[in-house]
Amino acid sequence: MIKTVEQLAHLAQGLRAKREIRSFLKAEERAVKFEYGIKDEVWSWYGGMVCEYDATFARILDAFNLYSFRHILAERAKKGLSTYVLDLMGGDASFLRDLKYPANKQDNPSPFNAGLCVTLVDGRQKRLQELDQRLNIEVLCGDLTSKRTWALIDEKQREMGIDAFDLIVCRGADGVKEDMIPRALYPFLFGKIWGRLSGNDGLFLTQLPETIRPRELLGQLRLIPEIRLNFQPSRYRPAEVYPSLGIIKTSAAPENL
pTM (2 decimals)? 0.81
Q: Which fold is adopted by the domain 42-249?
A: Rossmann fold (3.40.50)
The rounded distance, in Å, linking the Cα atoms of 165 and 85 is 6
Q: What percent of the chain has pLDDT over 90?
A: 43
Contact 118, 89 (CB under 8 A): yes
Contact 120, 77 (CB under 8 A): no
Domain ranges of the chain: 42-249
Write down the pLDDT at residue 43: 45
Write down the pLDDT at residue 179: 56
Q: Which region holds residue 93: left if phi is over 0, alpha if psi is between -120 and 50, else beta? A: left
- Summarised one tens digit per residue, pLDDT across range 119-165 is 887 878 888 899 899 889 999 988 888 889 999 999 999 999 999 99
- Mean pLDDT (the chain, rounded): 81
- Summarised one tens digit per residue, pLDDT across range 21-45 is 555 555 555 554 454 444 555 444 4
Q: Residue range 218-230: average pLDDT?
A: 93
Q: Residue range 214-234: average pLDDT?
A: 92
β-pairing, 227-232 vs 202-207, is unpaired
- Summarised one tens digit per residue, pLDDT across range 63-74 is 999 999 999 998
